Chain A
Amino acid sequence: MIFKQGILAALLCVALAAFFLPAKAASNIEVRAGFIRAPHMREMLSILDIPAADDGLAGATLAAEDNNTTGGFLGQTFAIDDVLLRPGDDPAAALSGLIQRGVSLVLADLPAAALLALSDSAKGKGVLIFNTGAPEDSLREENCRANVLNIAPSYSMLADGLAQYLVWKQWKRWFLIKGSHPEDVLYAGALRHAAKKFGAKIVEERTYEDTGGGRRSDSGSVQTQRLIPVATQNAPAYDVLVAADESEVFASYLPFRTWDPRPVAGSAGLRPTSWDGSHEQWGAIQLQNRFMKLASRRMNARDNNAWVAMRMIGEATSRTGSSDPKVIRDYLTGPDFAIAAFKGQKQTLRHWNQQLRQPILLGDGRMIVSVSPQEGFLHQTSELDTLGFDEPETKCHLQ
């Protein structure tokens, strides 16, 4: 309980080590953050989602620019050392190269297994890793690591954010359709867990097998229009079709083609995400404008995760006057850290697994429909902790 009965007009006057910063600060800190990234799949159902060459990187670059504006008043500069892995490249070798160049703060947009290998290879080397891509809960739970801060939301946070809204809408009977790849199964598991947690019921669950083949053809919609109704027919009465398709095999084919006229959510339709190019509230339009100017495209969730990670580095450096990864980690995981990231409330780190607390946006790719946590889902410390695994249930032991 943070609010004690009896303390009515509570006040905390904190005596502070005051900051006085002259107009041009003398201290000189140069921060070079590494960015190790693997190319993302280009086989997307919608051509709008095919990643750009600077996917993710552009977000970090923008944050470095923002940090440099602030750094101009503090004598601090920020730069990115970008390492794009090719198929077969070893992330650990990439990290060794960065360490040799004096880099100890590293953003990583990698698949979960590669990220875990990276963090284990970095153990004892004074490196702090920011996970900006991998949503696997295992990285926050049984495989959590002290040298990894998780900026991207987990599958369970995304699923819980979606579930709260669907339950608020009273769309409680779900038809869950999942893909056949391991990531699809993980996302489906998070959705199943969310349904149970918030009182929805999965009345039907099916697997949509990936039988191979490409995404592009000149007359694809003709076949799709026949396939999807069949794949979704004969279901018991349901309110919403929830899809778990991390592999881009079928989910975007679902809206408007289901056997029963039902809304689609999850991997298509109403999607939970940490960011979307259509998000504009809480000053977000300023960030969107800056990003468009820099990258000539809209900011996606991976760009935004990287922006937040690089801003956290800037924030920690400006507050502590240090770029030492230990000092940065202590500040970011400590009680004084909070970052403003255009989602309506402060974002902080869960001390038990170093996951960034954050609202989850729900949008169709053109508009933001709602933002979770939804009103009425209460929590004793932070309503943001209604999203994802909470402290009492965590399996994480940081090491």
Chain B
Amino acid sequence: MPFAMSRRERSKVSPLASTVLALNALAFGMASPAGAFTAYVSNEKGNSITIIDTDKMEVTKTVQVGHRPRGIALNKDGSELFICAGDDDLIQILDTKKLSITGTLPSGADPELLILSPDGKLLYISNENDNLVTAIDVATRKIVAEIPVGVEPEGMELSPDGKVLVNTSETTNMAHLIDTETHKIFANVLVDARPRAAQYTPDGSELWVSSEVGGTVSVIDAANPKIKQKIAFEVPGLSKEAIQPVGMRFTQDGKKAFVALGPANRVAVIDTATKKVEKYLLVGQRVWQLALTPDGKFLYTTNGVSNDVSVIDVASLKVLKSITAGSFPWGVAIARQ
């Protein structure tokens, strides 16, 4: 019962994990001589970005940024990191080479999450405080659209073809589907309480929405936006209230989904086809957002309460390592460089 492993048991197996880690690092090193990727982790209370070398799985630097950094996103070539500095009411731009803030974008009030359009030209931002999704032209640094959505906009996602922008609203409990041409909502799907993340399957056929308080993931048919199915979770020994799905990621082949379960301190592994939960991986406390390395081999999880990041080996579904980050790690993005 690996999912039921206590922290003590987990520390007992760490020599084995280290071996796996070493082997993986070796295999990985051979496969990609180009070198390591770089993971950026926003620390909500630390007002900083932790930078991790994914090859060494070590922190290389911590950069101080604006107040309450949460959502982060890289530009197309990974040269810039956009940071939602919620309490400063703006987006900061971090030059990933110089590791300094080189500019800001207007964002509207209290930006929380953001996503870059596939052509890299527009940033879509959810503004928690005023029920809007804001679109910003990255080149001109101007707001080009404000789209009224439900109460407390949160999760942001784009369909693989870039035609549909999805926003979740935490108190309205909907996924709003927005046409990226017209910037108009064309469908609203009611999901369980406090929706957080939205993710399309890599083939674009399904849209998955996690509901933090409802404790479920709604699977929506992308072509005909209706809920097909809801996925629920059960972890022996944990009350239903403790299971709070937040961040989600699909493997690159789309066969598996990872769902962070918040204060349940676990990442659920789901078979995308059958929607069955295959495994619960024990990670740090209050696991929040997830990101895959660009080669799809490793999954990074931010663990807010334990101030660390867990690294999961996607092939073996083993938790390899915990890396200490700043205070309350929240968002994570991984660049090729």
**Chain A contacts to B: CB under 8 angstroms:** 2-3, 5, 7-16, 18-23, 66, 69-70, 73-74, 283, 286, 289-290, 311, 315, 318-319, 338-340, 344-346, 379, 381-384
Contact = CB atoms under 8 A, between A and B. Distances in A.
B239 A379 contact: yes
Contacts of A20: 187, 189, 224-226
Given A11-B232, A12-B234, A20-B226, A289 B129 contact: yes
Contacts of A283: 128, 152, 170
Contacts of A384: 241
A66 B169 CA distance: 11
B180 interface: no
A27 B129 CA distance: 28
Contacts of B235: 3
B152 A73 contact: no
Interface of B: 1, 3, 110, 128-129, 131, 150-152, 169-174, 176, 184-190, 192-194, 212-215, 224-242, 244, 263, 275-280
Nearest to B242: A345
A16 B152 contact: no
Contact of B228 (A7, A10, A18, A286): A18
B229 to A, nearest CB: 5
B234 A70 contact: no
A7 B1 CA distance: 11
B236 A23 contact: no
A3 B242 CA distance: 13
Contact of A14 (B150, B215, B230): B230
B275 A340 contact: no
A74 B280 CA distance: 37
A70 B187 contact: no
B131 A21 contact: no
B276 A73 contact: no
B239 to A, nearest CB: 5
B211 to A, nearest CB: 9
Contacts of A318: 173, 190
A308 to B, nearest CB: 12
A12 B230 CA distance: 8
B147 to A, nearest CB: 11
Contact of A13 (B170, B172, B226, B230): B230
Given A69-B131, A382-B241, A11 B227 contact: no
Nearest to B218: A16
B229 A345 contact: no
Given A339-B193, A382-B241, A9 B279 contact: yes
Given A16-B229, A20-B225, A66-B171, A383 B214 contact: no
A270 to B, nearest CB: 23
B88 to A, nearest CB: 15
A301 B187 CA distance: 36
Nearest to B232: A12
A22 B225 CA distance: 9
A346 B275 contact: no
Given A16-B227, A346-B215, A382 B193 contact: no
Given A7-B234, A9-B276, A11-B275, A338 B150 contact: no
10 closest A-B pairs by CB: A18-B226, A10-B234, A345-B241, A12-B232, A340-B213, A340-B194, A70-B172, A340-B193, A20-B226, A21-B188
Given A9-B279, A13-B275, A15-B229, 20 more contacts: A3-B235, A12-B230, A16-B228, A16-B230, A18-B227, A23-B184, A23-B186, A70-B171, A73-B176, A283-B170, A318-B173, A338-B213, A339-B193, A339-B213, A340-B171, A345-B213, A346-B193, A346-B213, A346-B214, A382-B241
Contacts of A338: 192-193, 213-215
A22 B185 CA distance: 9
Given A345-B213, A383-B241, A19 B230 contact: no
Given A73-B172, A345-B241, A340 B277 contact: no
B229 A13 contact: yes
B129 A69 contact: no
Contact of B237 (A3, A16, A73): A3
B230 A382 contact: no
Contacts of B187: 20-23
A339 B277 CA distance: 25
B183 to A, nearest CB: 12
Contacts of A289: 129
B280 A9 contact: yes
21 contacts: A3-B235, A5-B236, A9-B277, A9-B278, A9-B280, A10-B233, A11-B234, A12-B231, A13-B275, A19-B189, A19-B226, A21-B188, A23-B185, A23-B186, A23-B188, A73-B185, A286-B128, A286-B152, A318-B190, A319-B190, A340-B213
Given A8-B1, A13-B275, A19 B190 contact: yes
Contacts of A315: 173
A346 B129 CA distance: 22
A377 to B, nearest CB: 11
B170 A2 contact: no
A13 B233 CA distance: 10
B232 A69 contact: no
B185 to A, nearest CB: 5
A7 B171 CA distance: 33
Contacts of A290: 129
Given A2-B240, A382-B241, A383-B239, A66 B151 contact: yes
A69 B239 contact: no
B134 to A, nearest CB: 17
A16 B219 CA distance: 11
Contacts of A66: 151, 171-172
Contacts of A5: 236
B240 to A, nearest CB: 7
A66 B171 CA distance: 8
B193 A70 contact: no
A3 B151 contact: no
A340 B245 CA distance: 13
A318 B190 CA distance: 8
Contacts of B231: 11-13
